[in-house]
Structures are given as C-alpha cells and as structure tokens.
C-alpha cells in the first residue's frame, strides 16, 4: 500500500466522511426495506464475502455455497495473483479512483439491504476507513443496527502488531521490516482498539497459525486456506514429485514479501553453498499470476516458503499439493499446525537454513517421499471437502444450519 499525497488524502477523507454521513442518514430507510423483505431474505440465504482480495476468499465463498448459501464475492480491487471474484468495484473502462469509491458505498447499501451474512477481514470490509488498517466504524455500526451477521477472518497483516510480534522471539516479521505502518497494522494500541471493536460487532471471528496470537476469543480450528484439487479437472495441482538426478538441487521461492520471508538469508545461504561446491540453484518467482507461478513450482526439487514469520503461507499448501517438499519456519508446530504429527514441512530457521539445504542437496534425504507425504496431507486436511466439513461444523455450532 503506497500512501497518497497529503492533499489527496485529505480530500479523500472528506469525501469518505460525507458518504459515511449519507449512509447513516439512509439507515432507517434500509432498515424498513430490510424488514419488509425479511421472509424472502431468510429463504434466499444471501451471503457476501468482501475485504482484501485474498486468493482464498473465493475458495471460502465456494465452500459456503456447498452448505446451501447463495454466496458471492465483492472486492474493491484485485492483486495480480488472481481476479476470479464475482464483482470487482474498480474494474471497467469508466472507473476511476473516485467512481470506484462511490461504487463501494452503492455495493454496501445493496449488501445491507439483501444479505443475511457478511464475511470480511479484521482490517475492513466494503467501506473504507478513515484510519488505515482498521475496520470502518460506520460499517460495523450498520451491520449491528440491521442485524446482519458479520464473520471476520484473518490473513496476517490485518492483525500483526510490533509489540506482540517481537514478544514471540527472534526472528519474526518485524526483524528486518522496512515497511512500518504499511505492511501490517503495527501499532499495538491501534490493533487492540480495532480488534476489540470488531469482536464486539462480529458474530464470530476466525483465526489460525501465528495469527491466533493477535485475535483473543477467535475460533481457531477451521484452517481456512483450502486447496481446490478439482480445479481444471485436477490439472492445476497435477503432482510432479521430485526425483533423484544429477542436476543441482533446485530451490524455488516466491519473494512477494522478501523482508518478511527471509529471502536475503536464503540467497546468502545458496551463494555460500555454491562457493563450497555444493550443487544448488535458486529460482525466484515474482510478478506472475497464480497459474504462471504454479508452472514454475512444478520444476522445483524443494520449495522454500519463509524462515522468519513462524507460520506457513498458502504458497506452502499449494507446493505440497503439487507433491513438493516444503521448507518453512514453524515457531510452534503443535499450536499452529493442523495435525502437526502428519505435516511433512521441513522446519528450518535462519540459523539452520544453510545446513538444511546442504543436507537436502546431499541426496541422502528422500525428497520424493516427503513430496508424497505432503500431497497426502493436503488430500486429507486441506481439500475443499475437508474445509467445507470444518465450516459446516462451525455453522452448526453457531445455529446457522441444522
């Protein structure tokens, strides 16, 4: 996120404040219309997924559809990794920064009128906030007034703050961070205020992995990053297990956030091993769509996720689905992992990374077997069916389905 120039930021804040006032003024009318439409809305079971355009948002929405809801996704914008959302509010030939902002309010009014449920992240849903990385107070207030059930999920930067992160020990997200106040919410007080406000408004919050350290009271057993193994009739995640061969050990890494993933430490370790005559090579994947990146991952002997954060990313799950061994720093395996005894992730850290790579390059480790274990782990715990089952249990516990 690149901060806007001061004048433009002030103008945008003024416009947002004006539109927020308009929403508040219109709430009584929306409440009346919603009351009149109560019965058809209940039977329609409309559910909106919104907020940051995270790849797994689409998959969670798909899982909810399997439970009988008419679910759809609406996002303000998209990243280069995927654009497979139902509605993207800044897309179209006549869209600009300001029309996209206006469409967010139009979409919000329609969602308030028609939806039973809304899903978002801790740093917001449809409406922009006057304070970056926080949930709009107007949006939270509106859902409460209209009795719209709000479910809030995490993705990482929406909940991580410096104080809590540094207490986890070294290394961590903050160790080499050069994006203070941009990449994460960062300020502990700001995070605590935002989380407590969201928790008071939400029907349920969901978290997992290291993110549970920042979300007191959340439900943490859903592990909500499913992998759709049926995508393109199974071709997307067609396995290609690593084989023993004469070429150097090929390490593939996606440094979309290098300062948080320990990319520099990986590059240093690889260069030092090369200088020692150890047969290793590093392939970096940057600026590619998810589909293009998966093609590169297939060429890997091992996938390096990160050695700083302390929890794996979605990248690691996709790599295991492809049958690739994964290296990643897991700070608390028993607390953070789903079925930790069955998870074949190679737990590495800054201090052990070079030796771990040396061991893998020596061909004394059966990389094919680790790859097969990873694929089995995904098939058992991270398929759409497995996640839908966990989501269904949560919904039954909440009384949303019978």
Say what the pLDDT of residue 81 is.
55
The pLDDT tens digits for 60-86 are 999 999 999 999 999 998 876 556 899
At 292, the pLDDT band (50, 70, 90 cuts) reads: confident
CA distances to 305, 330, 388 from 346, in Å: 10, 9, 27
Q: Which of 27-41, 207-221, 293-307 has the lowest mean pLDDT?
A: 27-41
DSSP state of 137: H
Query: Tens digits of per-residue pLDDT, 365-386?
Result: 999 999 999 999 999 999 999 9
Closest CA to 211 of 223, 228, 199, 202: 223
Q: Is 389 helix (H, G, I), strand (E, B) or coil?
A: helix
For the cut 80, the answer to whether the pLDDT of residue 7 exceeds it is no
Please determine, for residue 236, whether its predicted confidence score (pLDDT) is greater than 80: yes
Beta-bridge partner residues of 376: none
Is residue 360 scored above 90 in pLDDT?
yes
**What is the C-alpha separation between 115 and 44, in angstroms, rounded?**
9
User: Mean pLDDT over residues 305-319, rounded?
Assistant: 96
Q: What is the CATH number of domain 231-382?
A: 3.40.50.2000
Query: What integer best gives the mean pLDDT of the chain?
Result: 92
Q: What six digits make up the tokens of 322? A: 């492809």
Whether the pLDDT of residue 357 is over 60: the answer is: yes
Q: What is the pLDDT of residue 1?
A: 45
Instruction: Identify the architecture of domain 7-226+385-397 in CATH.
Output: 3-Layer(aba) Sandwich (3.40)
Work out the average pLDDT over 292-313.
94
Give the pLDDT score at 2: 45
The 10s digit of each residue's pLDDT in 165-199 is 999 999 999 999 888 888 899 999 999 999 999 99
- Residue 65 contacts residue 71 (beta carbons within 8 Å): yes
- The kind and range of the H/E element at 164 are helix 162-167
Q: What is the pLDDT of residues 87-121, one digit of tens each?
A: 999 887 667 888 889 999 999 999 999 999 999 99
CA contacts within 13 A on the Cβ side of 272: 11
Residue 178: the pLDDT is 84
Span 107-156, pLDDT tens digits: 999 999 999 999 999 999 999 999 989 999 999 999 999 999 999 999 99
**Dihedral sign of CA atoms 160, 163, 169, 170 in order:** positive
Query: Can the peptide bond before residue 171 be classed as cis, meaning omega within 30 degrees of 0?
Result: yes
Q: Which helix (H) or strand (E) holds 347?
A: strand 346-347
Confirm whether 7-226+385-397 and 231-382 share one CATH topology: yes
Nearest to 81 by CA among 56, 52, 55, 51: 55
Any idea where the domains of the chain sit in the sequence?
Answer: 7-226+385-397, 231-382
Query: What's the predicted TM-score (pTM) here?
Result: 0.93
């Amino acid at each position: 996120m690149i901060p806007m120039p001061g004048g433009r930021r002030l103008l945008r804040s003024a416009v947002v404040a004006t539109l927020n006032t308009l929403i508040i003024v219109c709430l009584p009318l929306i409440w009346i219309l919603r009351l009149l439409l109560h019965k058809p809305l209940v039977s329609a079971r409309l559910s909106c997924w919104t907020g940051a355009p995270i790849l797994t948002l689409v998959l969670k929405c798909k899982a909810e559809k399997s439970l009988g809801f008419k679910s759809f996704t609406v996002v303000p914008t998209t990243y280069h990794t995927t654009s497979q959302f139902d509605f993207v509010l800044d897309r179209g030939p006549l869209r600009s920064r300001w029309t996209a902002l206006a469409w967010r309010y139009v979409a919000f009014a329609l969602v308030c009128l028609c939806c039973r449920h809304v899903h978002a992240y801790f740093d917001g849903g449809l409406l922009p906030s006057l304070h970056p990385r926080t949930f709009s107070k107007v949006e939270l207030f509106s859902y409460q007034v209209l009795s719209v059930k709000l479910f809030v999920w995490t993705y990482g930067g929406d909940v991580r703050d410096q104080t809590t992160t540094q207490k986890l020990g070294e290394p961590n997200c903050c160790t080499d961070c050069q994006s203070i106040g941009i990449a994460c919410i960062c300020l502990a007080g700001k995070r605590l205020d935002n989380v407590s406000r969201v928790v008071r408004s939400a029907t349920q919050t969901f978290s997992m992995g290291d993110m549970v350290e920042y979300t007191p009271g959340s439900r943490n057993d859903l592990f909500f990053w499913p992998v759709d193994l049926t995508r393109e009739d199974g071709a997307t995640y067609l396995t290609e297990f690593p084989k023993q061969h004469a070429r150097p050990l090929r390490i593939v890494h996606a440094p979309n956030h290098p300062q948080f993933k320990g990319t520099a430490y990986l590059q240093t370790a690889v260069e030092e091993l090369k200088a020692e005559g150890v047969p290793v090579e590093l392939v970096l994947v940057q600026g590619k769509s998810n589909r293009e990146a998966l093609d590169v991952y297939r060429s890997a002997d091992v996938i390096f996720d990160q050695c700083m954060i302390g929890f794996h990313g979605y990248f690691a799950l996709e790599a295991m689905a492809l049958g690739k061994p994964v290296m990643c720093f897991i700070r608390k395996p028993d607390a953070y992992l789903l079925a930790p005894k069955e998870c074949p992730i190679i737990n590495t850290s800054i201090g052990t990374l070079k030796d771990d790579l040396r061991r893998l390059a020596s061909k004394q480790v059966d990389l094919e077997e680790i790859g097969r274990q990873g694929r089995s782990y995904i098939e058992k715990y991270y398929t759409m069916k497995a996640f839908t089952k966990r989501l269904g249990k949560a919904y039954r516990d909440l009384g949303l389905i019978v």
